[in-house]
Amino acid sequence: MTQPPVQTSASGHLDLIIEMTSDFAQSHDIEAILHLGLKRVCERLGAEAASLFLLEQDSGDLVCHACIGPTEVLGLRLAPGRGIVWRSIDLDTPQLVRDARFDPDFAVTVDEATGFVTRSILCAPMSFRGQKLGAIELFNKTDGQSFTSADGQLLRALAMSSALALINTRLVAGMAEQEAFRREIALASEIQRAMLPPPQPAASPIHGVNLPARGVSGDFYEILPLRDGRIAFAIGDVSGKGMNASLLMTKTASLFRCLAKREDGPGRMLAAIDSELHETGLAGMFVTMVAGILDPAAGRVILANAGHEPPLLRTRNGEYLPVDDGMPPLGIAPDLFADGCPESVVDLDGGALYLFTDGLTEARAGGGAMVGGDGARRLLDAFAGMPADERLQAVVRSLDGIGSLRDDVTLMVVEDRRLAAAGVFERRYSARPENLATIRAEVTEVARELGCSAGLVQDVVLAVDEACQNVIRHAYRGGDGDIVVHVGREDDLLVIRLMDFAPPVEVSKIRPRPLDEVRPGGLGIHLMRSVMDQVDFLPPPAGIGNLLQMVKRIDTP
């Protein structure tokens, strides 16, 4: 009876995947390339015959567009719901039939019409989230055995490459209807998103986000846990835009996934990827890329950079340190990486390492001004009090819409999660008066845990409460909004940051009033500065909100 193949690694057939992807990228004759691809698959998997079916939009039938084997079935039509091919598409999963005679969906009429004898079948769909393109079907192993689950995994990967090739060819040819063009872009975007890592758990030390400037992005990032507890990661930017960039992105990301488990260190990974890209052809394109390995237990990162934007280490004191940009991009010249790629060691020491593509600095923030390097730092500072996954999403949302992006935006953060165990408190609240009691209670608890005396706790809670009231009354003026409260200890200092998302205030106009002019409940800045050692409004990020920092020294016995 039919059994879907178990998903296993296809890295043993990486050369075939690379060859197929290269052929697809260099030719727009889809019929010829699909025929050549089927021939290679038959030879590699030892199949007697193969067929590739594409969905015909007008009739809804599956039509054979390429075939290999002793019988000619080109042009064969399969009505909806008939046969193992349709079952594979409807279930959106590969189908492995070890003995076709016992499968109720086997179309024996085809054998009867052609004289071919079908023993076993392996079929993989070309479909994504209900949008169906077609399927690839293999028949009979030449050694008399049935297909294996490893064969199924390889065919699945090749079906995805075929789907990308089909979309690319249709786009390049110029489809007559604009609506059809949008559907193809949307489908390519779905394929690309399928290649990106899934959202990471909140406690993960590495998070990433990607926002394409168009329907298909040339950016990518990877997060890959290793068996020894370390985590491999990468971020990259492919030259150019559209489908060709997406194909090269897919190839580079696939190479990283395979090599990260085999190569010792990110420098060797980048050198190996560069070699593979040159062997398969780049057609004048190149890739900037950073690869790294995090040791979460030590809070240490090993990095290698091939022409990418230098990563930024934000120390736990809020300072920024760039990490050297290393080598030129991948794909520039075959001999550049002959001696490998140099590596850098970064001790996070409670900080966070940010990696991003140049789309971030070239994006337009609120008001239309380019973000730039300084603006990127202010954006990261603005949301520093938020959990990592929410922080990245907030940075992306702060940009003035997709239409203002000059380039794809990809952003990653690698954190020293050992700091979380040391008692850093970060929480987002709705800016409502009824939440003030909860804020006071939670700040009281964390201040005690961080070693503050009873008197110091009282001062801190008073300052935080007054600051939050100011945000509710003056920044949001009683309207809806959020407050992010961050409380942490840095050596012998208690550091508190409050972030709102209201229009930026003019810091020069914020002055404490004389005490004889202060009304009940309106101590404001005067109270905060009287009980805290330092109160500062950090430079507000353009169009984002306001960031207040208060510092108090913790007296040790």
282 alpha carbon, distance to own chain's centre: 23
**Which backbone phi and psi does 301 adopt, to 5 degrees?**
-120, 135
Query: What's the pLDDT tens digit per position in 344-403?
Result: 999 998 889 999 988 887 776 556 667 778 888 888 887 876 778 888 988 887 774 544
Distance between CA atoms of 164 and 247, rounded to whole angstroms?
7
Distance between CA atoms of 207 and 391, rounded to whole angstroms?
10
Residue 484: pLDDT over 70: yes
Query: What's the pLDDT tens digit per position in 46-98?
Result: 999 999 999 998 899 999 988 999 888 899 999 998 889 999 998 989 999 99
Distance between CA atoms of 188 and 80, rounded to whole angstroms?
24
Mean pLDDT, residues 103-124: 90
Question: What are the structure tokens assigned to 503, written together?
Answer: 């229009």
Q: Which DSSP string corresponds to 121-150? A: EEEEEEEETTEEEEEEEEEEETTSPPP-HH
Distance between CA atoms of 277 and 285, rounded to whole angstroms?
10
Residue 407: pLDDT over 90: no
Return the percentage of the chain with pLDDT > 90, whole number: 35
For the ranges 13-17, 109-113, 125-129, 175-179, the lowest mean pLDDT is seen at 175-179
Distance between CA atoms of 395 and 221, rounded to whole angstroms?
17
Distance between CA atoms of 407 and 387, rounded to whole angstroms?
26
Integer-rounded Cα Rg, in Å, for the chain is: 29
In this prediction, residue 261 carries a pLDDT of 85
Q: How confident is the model at residue 533 (pLDDT cuts 50, 70, 90)?
A: very high
Distance between CA atoms of 490 and 44, rounded to whole angstroms?
59
On whether the CB atoms of residues 379 and 398 are closer than 8 A, the answer is yes
| Direct distance between the N- and C-terminal alpha carbons of the chain, in angstroms, rounded to an integer | 75
Distance between CA atoms of 471 and 502, rounded to whole angstroms?
8
Task: Residue 226: count other Cβ atoms within 10 Å of its Cβ.
Answer: 12
Averaged confidence pLDDT in the chain: 82
* Buried b / exposed e along 522-552 (16+ C-beta atoms within 10 A): ebbbbbbeebbeebebbebbbbbbbbbbbeb
In this prediction, residue 504 carries a pLDDT of 83
Looking at per-residue pLDDT, the higher value among 4 and 453 belongs to: 453
Residue 165: pLDDT over 80: no
Q: Do domains 11-180 and 206-420 have the same CATH topology?
A: no
Burial level of 335, CB count in 10 A (0-12/13-18/19+)?
Answer: exposed
Per domain, the residue ranges of the chain are 11-180, 206-420, 423-553
In this prediction, residue 515 carries a pLDDT of 47
Return the CATH architecture of domain 423-553: 2-Layer Sandwich (3.30)
**Superfamily of segment(s) 11-180:** GAF domain (3.30.450.40)
Non-local CB neighbours of 523 within 8 Å, separated by 6+ positions: 466
Q: Classify 358 as helix, strand or coil.
A: helix
Mean pLDDT, residues 12-39: 72
In this prediction, residue 403 carries a pLDDT of 43
Return the percentage of the chain with pLDDT > 70, whole number: 80
Query: What's the pLDDT tens digit per position in 411-440?
Result: 999 998 875 555 578 788 999 999 999 999
Residue 203: pLDDT over 60: yes
Residue 278, H or E segment: helix 266-280
In this prediction, residue 518 carries a pLDDT of 47
Distance between CA atoms of 263 and 547, rounded to whole angstroms?
43
Looking at per-residue pLDDT, the higher value among 169 and 345 belongs to: 345
Tell me the sheet residues that pair with 136: 52, 124
Give the chain's count of helices (H) and strands (E). Answer: 14, 21
Residue 458, H or E segment: helix 454-470
* Alpha helices (H) along 123-226: 149-173, 178-195
Residue 4: pLDDT over 50: no
**Superfamily of segment(s) 206-420:** PPM-type phosphatase domain (3.60.40.10)
On whether the CB atoms of residues 105 and 83 are closer than 8 A, the answer is yes
Residue 105 C-beta-side C-alpha neighbours within 13 Å? 20
Non-local CB neighbours of 40 within 8 Å, separated by 6+ positions: 16, 19, 20
Residue 452: pLDDT over 70: yes
Looking at per-residue pLDDT, the higher value among 107 and 186 belongs to: 107
